[in-house]
């Protein structure tokens, strides 16, 4: 046998073994854990571990109560109220207007005690464009925690026809709100509970109260409804014994493109474009063609998209949906199907779209593949697809409750052992806390059942659910060998965090829709399916097009060498932001002003080199707060006070927001975004510890023995690094010091960063030294951690109080659903001071910083004026609101836009209570001037803080020594720029 043949046989043998292994793995039976929990009572609650106030507990309490079938209509205009409540006629109906912050109460006489759903007809008038929220009270009490802040959607539509830019790309229309009456039940926003909430009403007189948490709402009907079953398909067909229709009806076929949706629940559910598949209709590899709807934005339960269609005559019709779910392998995306506002039969409550890399045309059919027949009368109808978790909702609710109980177990052990237990010590947890061991045993069984339920539902074990199995196995090890609790304690916490993240990912139900087909029962629906040859041809065409098409160009692109003065705008953030900005420019700014704008997405590091080479932009967005003054010192930035209307522009901003852009009476930038700190706190943990929310630093220090005595901690920003970072590392510690809390203390103590002339630092004054000394004492004397992951510790309850940027609110809302309702935020702690009249007050000064819009210096007066027109438009509240809503719609609520415009900020998706707190804290913010050589200030203050914390040297001497270095650099730079020095 020659060597070549031998090698071939070896390779073939190896491949055969690999194939056999793959076949064996794929055919391996999925493990079943039912034996582990078969005899267990999974509804048992261990004292101290239970979740109080949950809807599941409320239902269990009323398990024996009746579900009456009759409806009870509430006498709408016979009410008692507080706040802005009055009768109002709108859109041809009489109703009751309930303003934000109001309460309205009705007396309701219920003939039969039992569980009722609450159904309303509502109209949301023009306001901030966010969903309305209401809290329900029955007989003066909130029946369960999830009855707070229940959301009611608005309606959105295209504000015109799509446009085509001068590159041949389609530009989606602007989204505008559609105002009309809607009907809705009070239901779970998360979608864990598929059916509307039920509320217990006693026989006889009851009170029903709605508290308006967010946005005004007009009510025209409030009704208590008996819980009724949706009819089955057989019942639906039996009740619609109409004619099959003529041949024209049977052969009718209408294709409704997904991008042509009529209405949608959120402005983010607009038309999108896809170049990845050859079967997307319409299709182009060279230009942007709007050809589908949905995507990343269509991920939350309750979001819906609606299409209008028309049928030629009465009869039965089929519906086909061409969709794609390529987001979650091993999972399904569910939609409810509504025809003319109602789910026709039970089978349409949950239509599942399995994972697939390509589009799949699915005719709505029963389990045997027989298409459902929909009886439709002649004329216009609408079909709505609404995101739902369906059967997965109950499983995810169990996962969320399990995450909460696991955090309770973790915190109970933490109080005893500390965050990093001594692995060589036996803590005897099994004998000291036998209830914890019972809780672990019970939770392991619950987790195994969750795994089995999810596998039974989806048909396979996805990566996300594997986390539940990992924790269940870890809990079993803890029960078998309690000493492993200490050795795996950190891993246990990480696994709990991973379970919460997995639950969040699994609750996303993303879907793309290419088109819908409404067809007669005899019509043949073509099902687009890509094969190898069509995919290969598509890739070849895309490859060739890439040599000729500039995919980085955004919107209309103008020739900068033409006679028109084209404003070049650089965006330093990302493509999503640049795309949204350009579409706004093309459909709003340029048509109204006549000023042409080219938008380019550029890496921040390219700005300096481009300006030096004379090839820079005219306007640059999102530059760092230190940049405008530094460019101005070198003659590269324009002073905006030279332009007409600058006072009006800046009147919508806090003075603290543009303090960093001032230099010698000039202002070189307009604030764009801003950030400042607030104090987050866990309501449940503080209540457990019998502590109140601290108002001052003194009160916070007095609370520390209680908090730390329970092996918990607090978090404040530190110069050791980005303390909120998910993974604190040496590089983060070195490069991103967070001095915001030190700056806040400096101003709370009556100090300042520089003298009035800006020639010297004043951190060496008595106020500056005291602020510095107290700041480092928090770490040296009180043991507050210098590096920590705030979000993770906060959701676990390990860090019940933390000072962090207010944007952390969005992260917590998205990433920690298991603690919703258990936390809040408020003003940062302040310092007691005495005013000129001898009256005591709390100074809550808070450092603010952000990004700016800056104009690069130019000799061309017309270009300078055009650039100013763009900057005025960009700084306008309406522009900022639209941009903020669109970027949040595209990237999710965790990317909520932190606009510096005060008027715009109040019209973004914050609740009324949140805006109140944030506005009050904003009023107390202070900005720090940028001075020549100011880059040395933060660097040396960080060095001073680290030196005192690490080497335990004297704080007074250290800050004074470093202030000398700061002053030397300021003097050197002032001399370099020809500025006076003392």
Q: First vs last Cα of the chain: how many Å apart?
A: 94
User: Which residue, 982, 877, 327, 328, is CA-closest to 652?
Assistant: 877
Give the pLDDT of residue 29. 53
Task: Provide φ and ψ at 45, rounded to 5°.
Answer: -115, 130
Cα 329 to Cα 463: distance, rounded to the nearest angstrom: 8
pLDDT-wise least confident of 85-99, 222-236, 460-474: 460-474
Give the range among 562-571, 648-657, 839-848, 930-939 with minimum mean pLDDT: 562-571
Instruction: Give the pLDDT mean for 916-935.
Output: 91
What pLDDT, on a 0 to 100 scale, did the predictor assign at position 713? Answer: 92
- Assign 681 a pLDDT band (cuts: 50, 70, 90): very high
Q: Higher model confidence: residue 356 or residue 13?
A: 356
Mean pLDDT of 597-608: 86
User: Using N-to-C axis directions, what is the helix angle for 434-458 and 463-480, rounded to 10°?
Assistant: 150
Higher pLDDT, 170 or 832: 832
Chain centre distance of CA 978:
48
User: Which pLDDT value is given to residue 728?
Assistant: 34
DSSP state of 301: T
DSSP class of residue 769 equals: H
Query: What pLDDT is stored for residue 561 in this prediction?
Result: 64
Q: Burial letters for 156-186: b for 16+ Cβ neighbours within 10 Å, e otherwise?
A: bbbeeeebebeeebbbbbbbeeeeebeebeb
What pLDDT was estimated at residue 908? Answer: 85
Say what the pLDDT of residue 105 is: 96
Q: How many CB atoms lie within 10 A of CB 713?
A: 20
If one compares 201 and 56, the residue with the highest pLDDT of the two is: 201
pLDDT for res 225: 94
Q: What is the average pLDDT across 586-598?
A: 86
> Averaged over 352-358, what is the pLDDT?
88
Instruction: Please provide the DSSP assignment of 113-162 as one string.
Output: -EEEEEEEEEE--SSSSS-EEEEEEETTB-SSGGGSSEEE---EEESS--
| Among candidate residues 453, 350, 339, 351, the one with its CA nearest the CA of residue 394 | 453
* pLDDT tens-place string over residues 109-166: 999 999 999 999 999 998 888 889 999 999 999 999 889 989 999 999 988 888 777 7
Nearest C-alpha neighbor of 668 from the set 375, 350, 929: 929
Percent of the chain at pLDDT exceeding 90? 47
Q: How far apart are CA 58 and CA 50, in angstroms?
A: 13
Q: What are phi and psi of 746, to 5 degrees?
A: -55, -45
Q: Compute CA 602 distance to the chain's CA centroid, rounded to the nearest angstrom.
A: 26
pLDDT surpassing 60 at residue 721: no
Question: What pLDDT digit, counting tens, does each position of 76-123 carry?
Answer: 999 999 999 999 999 899 999 999 989 999 999 999 999 999 999 999
> Which phi-psi region, left, alpha or beta, contains residue 191 (left: φ > 0; alpha: ψ -120 to 50)?
left
- For 347, other C-beta atoms within 10 Å of its C-beta total 19
| Residue 393 CB partners (closer than 8 Å, separation 6+) | 188, 190, 191, 192, 193, 194, 301
Q: Rounded CA gap, 937 and 970, in Å?
A: 9
Could you tell me which of 777, 785, 733 has the C-alpha nearest to residue 956?
777
Which of 22-26, 35-39, 739-743 comes out lowest in average pLDDT? 22-26
Tell me the mean pLDDT in the region 258-267: 91
Non-local CB neighbours of 307 within 8 Å, separated by 6+ positions: 256, 258, 260, 261, 262, 382, 383, 384, 516
Q: What is the pLDDT of residue 560?
A: 67
Residue 966 has pLDDT above 70, yes or no: yes
Which band of pLDDT confidence, cut at 50, 70 and 90, is reported for residue 829? very high
What confidence category does residue 8 fall into, taking pLDDT thresholds of 50, 70 and 90?
A: low
- The pLDDT tens digits of the residues spanning 489-524 come to 889 988 988 888 888 888 888 999 999 999 998 888
pLDDT at residue 708, as a whole number:
92
Say whether pLDDT at 592 is over 60: yes
Q: Quick one: pLDDT at residue 726?
A: 37
Which residues make Cβ contacts (< 8 Å) with residue 471, sequence separation at least 6?
406, 444, 447, 492, 495, 496, 499
pLDDT in tens, 367-412: 888 999 999 999 999 999 999 988 888 888 888 889 989 988 988 8
pLDDT of 643 reads 92
Range list of β-strands (E), 262-401: 263-264, 271-273, 290-295, 304-311, 315-324, 332-339, 351-354, 360-363, 374-376, 379-388
Half-sphere exposure in the Cβ direction for 87 (13 Å, CA): 6
Query: Distance between CA 102 and CA 96 in Å, rounded?
Result: 12
Instruction: Write down the pTM of the prediction.
Output: 0.83
521-555 residue pLDDT tens: 888 888 877 777 777 877 787 777 777 666 555 55
CB atoms within 10 A of CB 385: 25
């Amino acid at each position: 046998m020659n060597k070549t043949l031998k090698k071939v046989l070896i390779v073939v043998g190896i491949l055969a073994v690999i194939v056999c292994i793959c076949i064996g793995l794929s055919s391996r039976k999925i493990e079943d854990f039912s034996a582990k929990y078969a005899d267990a009572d999974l509804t048992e609650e261990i004292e101290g571990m239970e979740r109080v106030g949950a809807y599941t507990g409320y239902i269990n309490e009323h398990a024996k109560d009746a579900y009456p079938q009759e409806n009870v209509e509430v006498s709408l205009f016979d009410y008692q109220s507080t706040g802005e409540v009055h009768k109002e006629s709108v859109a041809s109906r009489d109703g009751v207007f309930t303003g934000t912050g109001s309460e309205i109460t009705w007396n309701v006489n219920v003939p039969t005690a039992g569980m009722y759903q609450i159904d309303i007809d509502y109209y949301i008038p023009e306001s901030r464009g966010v969903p309305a929220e209401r809290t329900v009270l029955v007989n003066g009490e909130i029946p369960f925690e999830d009855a707070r802040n229940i959301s009611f959607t608005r309606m959105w539509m295209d504000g015109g026809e799509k446009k085509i830019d001068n590159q041949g790309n389609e530009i989606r229309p602007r989204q505008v709100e559609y105002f009309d009456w809607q009907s809705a039940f009070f239901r779970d926003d998360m979608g864990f509970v598929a059916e509307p909430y039920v509320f217990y009403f006693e026989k006889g007189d009851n009170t029903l109260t709605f508290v308006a948490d967010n946005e005004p709402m007009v009510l025209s009907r409030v009704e208590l409804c008996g819980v009724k079953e949706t009819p089955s398909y057989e019942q639906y067909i039996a009740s619609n014994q109409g004619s099959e229709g003529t041949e024209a009806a049977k052969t009718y076929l209408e294709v409704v493109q997904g991008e042509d949706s009529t209405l949608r629940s959120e402005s983010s559910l607009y038309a999108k474009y896809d170049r990845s598949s050859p079967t997307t209709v319409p299709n182009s590899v060279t230009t942007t063609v709007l050809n589908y709807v949905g995507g990343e934005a269509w991920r939350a339960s309750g979001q819906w998209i609606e299409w209008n269609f028309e049928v030629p005559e009465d009869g039965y019709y089929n519906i086909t949906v061409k969709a794609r779910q390529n987001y979650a392998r091993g999972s399904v995306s569910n939609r409810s199907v509504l025809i003319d506002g109602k789910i026709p039969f039970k089978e349409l409550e949950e239509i599942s779209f399995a994972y697939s890399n390509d589009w799949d045309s699915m005719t709505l059919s029963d389990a045997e593949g027989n298409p459902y027949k929909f009886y439709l009368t002649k004329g216009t109808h609408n079909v709505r697809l609404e995101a739902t978790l369906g059967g997965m909702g109950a499983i995810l609710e169990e996962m969320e409750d399990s995450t909460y109980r696991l955090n309770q177990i973790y915190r109970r052990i933490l109080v005893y052992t500390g965050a990093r237990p001594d692995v060589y010590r036996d803590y005897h947890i099994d004998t000291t806390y036998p209830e914890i061991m019972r809780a672990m045993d019970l939770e392991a069984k619950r987790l195994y059942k969750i795994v089995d339920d999810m596998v039974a539902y989806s048909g396979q074990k996805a990566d996300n659910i594997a986390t539940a199995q990992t924790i269940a196995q870890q809990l079993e090890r803890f029960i078998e060998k309690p000493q492993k609790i200490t050795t795996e304690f950190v891993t246990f916490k990480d696994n709990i965090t991973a379970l919460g993240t997995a639950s969040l990912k699994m609750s996303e139900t993303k879907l793309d829709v290419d088109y819908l087909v409404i067809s007669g029962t005899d019509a043949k629906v073509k099902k687009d399916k890509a094969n190898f040859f069509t995919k290969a041809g598509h890739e070849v065409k895309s490859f060739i097009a890439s040599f000729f098409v500039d995919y980085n160009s955004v919107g209309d692109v103008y020739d900068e060498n033409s006679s028109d003065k084209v404003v070049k705008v650089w965006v330093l953030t990302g493509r999503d932001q640049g795309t949204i900005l350009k579409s706004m420019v093309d459909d709003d700014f340029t048509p109204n002003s006549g000023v042409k704008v080219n938008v380019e997405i550029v890496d921040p590091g390219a700005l300096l080199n481009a300006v030096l080479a004379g090839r820079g932009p005219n306007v640059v967005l999102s530059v760092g707060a230190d940049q405008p003054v530094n460019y101005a010192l070198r003659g590269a930035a324009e002073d905006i006070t030279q332009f007409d209307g600058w006072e009006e522009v800046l009147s919508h901003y806090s003075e603290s927001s543009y303090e960093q852009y001032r230099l010698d009476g000039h202002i070189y930038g307009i604030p764009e975004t801003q950030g400042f700190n607030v104090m987050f706190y866990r309501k449940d943990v503080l209540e457990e510890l019998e502590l109140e929310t601290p108002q001052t630093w003194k009160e916070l220090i007095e609370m520390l023995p209680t908090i730390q005595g329970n092996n918990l901690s607090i978090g404040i920003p530190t110069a050791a690094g980005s303390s909120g970072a998910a993974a604190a590392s040496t590089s983060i510690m070195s490069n991103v010091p967070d001095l915001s809390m030190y700056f806040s203390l400096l101003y709370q103590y009556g100090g300042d960063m520089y003298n009035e002339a800006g020639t010297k630092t004043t951190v060496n004054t008595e106020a500056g030294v005291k602020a510095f000394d107290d700041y480092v004492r928090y770490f040296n004397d009180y043991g507050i951690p210098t590096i920590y992951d705030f979000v993770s510790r906060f959701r676990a309850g390990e860090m019940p109080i933390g000072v962090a940027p207010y944007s952390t609110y969005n992260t917590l809302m998205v990433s920690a659903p298991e603690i919703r309702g258990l936390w809040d935020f408020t003003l940062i702690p302040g310092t007691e001071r005495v005013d000129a009249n001898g009256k005591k007050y709390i100074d809550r000064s808070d450092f603010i910083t952000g990004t700016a819009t800056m104009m690069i210096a130019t000799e061309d007066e017309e270009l300078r004026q055009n650039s100013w027109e763009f900057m005025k438009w960009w700084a306008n509240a309406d522009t900022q609101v639209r941009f903020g809503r669109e970027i949040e719609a595209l990237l999710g609520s965790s990317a909520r836009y932190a606009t510096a415009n005060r008027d715009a900020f109040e019209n973004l998706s914050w609740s009324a209570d949140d805006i109140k707190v944030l506005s009050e804290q904003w009023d107390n913010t202070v900005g720090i001037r940028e001075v020549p050589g100011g880059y040395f200030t933060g660097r040396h203050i960080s060095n001073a803080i680290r030196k005192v914390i690490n080497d335990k040297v004297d704080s007074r001497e250290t800050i004074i020594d470093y202030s000398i270095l700061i002053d030397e650099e300021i003097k050197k730079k002032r001399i370099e720029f020809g500025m006076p020095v003392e």
